[in-house]
Structure 1
Amino acid sequence: MNNHISERITALRQQLGSSLAILGHHYQSDEVVQHVDFQGDSLELARKIPDLDAKYIVFCGVSFMAETAALLATKEQSVLIPDPKAHCCMAGTAPTQRVAKVLQEITDLGRKVIPLAYVNSTVGVKALCGEYGGSVCTSANAAIMLDWAMGQGDCVLFLPDKNLGMNTADLLRIPVQERAVLNVRDKDGLLDSDSLSRKLLLWPGVCAIHFRLKPEDVRLVQEDDPRPLVFVHPECEPGVVALANVSASTSGIIRAVREASPGATIYIGTEDNLVLRLARLNPDKHIYPLGAGYCSAMLKITEARLLSTLENLDEHAAVRVDSAIAPKARKALETMLDVMASRK
């Protein structure tokens, strides 16, 4: 960490006071996290936005998170991301035009399709969810939102993460024969009639970080020591989840670590910035990464870029959402928040 940069950020935060709010995702580095006002996963941070009075909201995360903040912020607020090129590769697996074509193809067959997009998706995809009466979800509330969506139409298109979709379907005990992973690569024939007859249609995207983890990684640590606890994120493939002691959202993993017994040996299958931070914050436990690695998009947000943003709040390009799609995308997000409020 650069002490000069850190001190300058601290001074600017004090100077700006309540006009500034810095939000940071759990996958951010410690050098950035030390400066945030609110730290959390996607759902926690989205819930913060409507209650913020700050003129400037600086979002330390990836671009889809900043877009979500811009949708929920007021017109008087500016949402900024220190590096606008911090794009989630999973979101890139579901281009808006391709998703629109798939939804239209399903609709043309006379089926009422409800799209449910993981928040790791573009604002264009979120707008399609709003247009078709669907919603969005996070890893923390995927089961609640998928259960809701299954009751809204003839079928659900869950996107873009097939692993989260399959693991959530397992939790809800949706029969395997009612699911289909779509082949959306063929531009001439996107879908087949057999797939479209299923209740749950899964987009074939994955998270590049969690996709690295395989069942063999879990078996290796279990062979070395039969007593370790294994906590993984539900973006991991079902074979990994099946071998783990806990499969949970980022916040769920943090809670599971906190509740584990002193002296426990824990291997965690999620982004390494978080895992190493949990190891430092829980010295009474033996915590190790399972091997997912670092998210390259999250690493684009550095302490130096955060400082540059704070020094140029009015010149730094604010996150903008096309006014033509903003209401539909906002509707999808608000539906999630409404469903979650009704299920409390």
Structure 2
Amino acid sequence: MENPAQRIERIKSEMGDRLSILGHHYQTDDVIHFTDIQGDSLELARKITNLDAEHIVFCGVFFMAESAAILCRDDQKIHIPDVTASCPMADMAEAGRVRKTLEILQKDGRKIVPLTYVNSSAAVKAVVGEYDGSVCTSANARTMLDWALNQGDAVLFLPDMHLGCNTANLLGIPEDKRLVLPKDVIDGDPALHVDPAAADDKRLILWPGYCPIHEEFTLDSTRAIRETEPEAKIVVHPECSPSVVEASDGNGSTTFLIKYAEEADDGTTIYIGTEENLVNRLAARYEGRKVIRPLLSSQCEDMGKITVEKLADTLENLNYSNPVTVSNAIREPARRALERMLAVCS
């Protein structure tokens, strides 16, 4: 009887170019081993439209598969090995509450342009598309926020307040021109918690969401390293809090972190503040040349739901299982939002 790895290899061989397996950097090594393309959200989004494969299997969390389903051609099918692999940050912004918040903020006639981090549902991307907004990733947040600021009177950035604040710092947006919405908007009625008068003179309005993984990194994490290993470098993902980003030697997307590790001099010790699967992969890649360690042990449980066993089962049932789909009512405006990003960043 074949084991899961053998099943995957056999099916990949049988299907050839009809199949493409995509994997986010936060996947475990045993899953990444079977992927044809690896990358961060922007890299993978850019690949979709140019793939010839009939079946695209996305090893990541559900919003990524949804984004693929929005961008793919009609003759392509998108699959994910576990549909319950969600994103807690994405779940902090519900489409109905986002729409109501935009309605409230625009009652005074100001044009509020929504910009959503790619870590959001297709329904949220659709709302953003309807309001002439766009999408960003951690790799292009600065470019896209600068674009959005030039499209209207203010920007509603969602769902990650940390990425929004860190990007605002890069663009020099003063703190007195920013407003973080009350956390009650995540679960409550925006009509009870959003005060349009408080946003009257603001250029950037921030949804109060965050990534629970990157929220775990604190100043204590960096201070301990500075005291015991002053020569070590610390680089972090911009989903970390602004205080942690400010205390680091650099910050950026997963692609940035990978490149930083690659370009560091031999003998360098680097602490990386992001999901641990990527950090451990880099540590193994440069073992004996550089010391790479996690700033703190932190793994995404939802990313971990994608396993070799589930991938093998998915591949064996490609022709029988229900692919990830997005209704046309959501797909079209969401696609506009995503395509605006791809056009600006082309």
Deviation at 1:103, TM superposition (A): 0.5
User: For residues 222 and 118 of structure 1, do their structure 2 counterparts lie closer, same or farther at Cα, with a shift above 3 Å needed?
Assistant: same
TM (norm. structure 2) is 0.96
Q: Name the aligned partner's letter for residue 157 of structure 2.
A: F
How far apart are the structure 1 equivalents of 2:200 and 2:339?
Answer: 28
Residue 229 of structure 2 corresponds to: 225
User: For residues 205 and 292 of structure 1, do their structure 2 counterparts lie closer, same or farther at Cα, with a shift above 3 Å needed?
Assistant: farther
C-alpha offsets along residues 142-197 of structure 1, whole Å, 9 cap, x if unaligned? 00000000000010000000000000000011111110101151525221212343
Q: Name the aligned partner's letter for residue 110 of structure 1.
A: G
Residue 37 of structure 2 corresponds to: 38
Residue 332 of structure 1 corresponds to: 337
Q: Secondary structure at the match of 1:296?
A: coil
Q: Name the aligned partner's letter for residue 258 of structure 1.
A: E
What is the aligned-residue identity percentage?
50
Structure 2, unaligned runs of 5 or more: none
Q: Name the aligned partner's letter for residue 117 of structure 2.
A: Y
Residue 272 of structure 2 corresponds to: 268
Residue 289 (structure 1) aligned with residue 260 (structure 2): no
C-alpha offsets along residues 204-243 of structure 1, whole Å, 9 cap, x if unaligned? 0000100000011001111111100001000000000001
Q: Please tell me whether the aligned partners of residues 105 and 199 of structure 2 are also in contact (alpha carbons under 8 angstroms).
A: no
Deviation at 1:119, TM superposition (A): 0.2
Deviation at 1:82, TM superposition (A): 0.4
Q: Name the aligned partner's letter for residue 219 of structure 2.
A: P
Q: Secondary structure at the match of 1:325?
A: helix
User: For residues 320 and 100 of structure 1, do their structure 2 counterparts lie closer, same or farther at Cα, with a shift above 3 Å needed?
Assistant: same
TM (norm. structure 1) is 0.97
Residue 212 (structure 1) aligned with residue 216 (structure 2): yes
How far apart are the structure 2 equivalents of 1:196 and 1:309?
Answer: 50
Deviation at 1:322, TM superposition (A): 1.4
Residue 80 (structure 1) aligned with residue 83 (structure 2): no
How far apart are the structure 1 equivalents of 2:312 and 2:228?
Answer: 44
Deviation at 1:120, TM superposition (A): 0.2
C-alpha offsets along residues 253-287 of structure 1, whole Å, 9 cap, x if unaligned? 00000000001011110000000000001111011
How far apart are the structure 1 equivalents of 2:36 and 2:25?
Answer: 12
Q: Name the aligned partner's letter for residue 43 of structure 1.
A: L
How far apart are the structure 1 equivalents of 2:183 and 2:332?
Answer: 27
How far apart are the structure 2 equivalents of 1:292 and 1:120?
Answer: 22
Q: Please tell me whether the aligned partners of residues 211 and 237 of structure 1 are also in contact (alpha carbons under 8 angstroms).
A: yes
Structure 1, unaligned runs of 5 or more: none
Alignment of 1:62-73 (within 5 A): 62-73=61-72
Kindly report structure 1 stretches of 4+ aligned residues shifted beyond 6 Å: none
Residue 53 of structure 1 corresponds to: 52
Alignment of 1:137-176 (within 5 A): 137-176=136-175
Q: Name the aligned partner's letter for residue 203 of structure 2.
A: K
Q: Secondary structure at the match of 1:65?
A: helix
Residue 328 of structure 2 corresponds to: 323
C-alpha offsets along residues 301-343 of structure 1, whole Å, 9 cap, x if unaligned? 00000000000001122001011111000000000000001xx
User: For residues 101 and 292 of structure 1, do their structure 2 counterparts lie closer, same or farther at Cα, with a shift above 3 Å needed?
Assistant: farther
Q: Please tell me whether the aligned partners of residues 143 and 168 of structure 1 are also in contact (alpha carbons under 8 angstroms).
A: yes
Alignment of 1:5-44 (within 5 A): 5-44=4-43
How far apart are the structure 2 equivalents of 1:36 and 1:61?
Answer: 11
Q: Secondary structure at the match of 1:45?
A: helix
How far apart are the structure 2 equivalents of 1:196 and 1:294?
Answer: 40
How far apart are the structure 1 equivalents of 2:277 and 2:86?
Answer: 18
RMSD in angstroms over aligned alpha carbons? Answer: 1.0
Deviation at 1:107, TM superposition (A): 1.5
Alignment of 1:228-243 (within 5 A): 228-243=232-247
Q: Please tell me whether the aligned partners of residues 233 and 247 of structure 1 are also in contact (alpha carbons under 8 angstroms).
A: yes
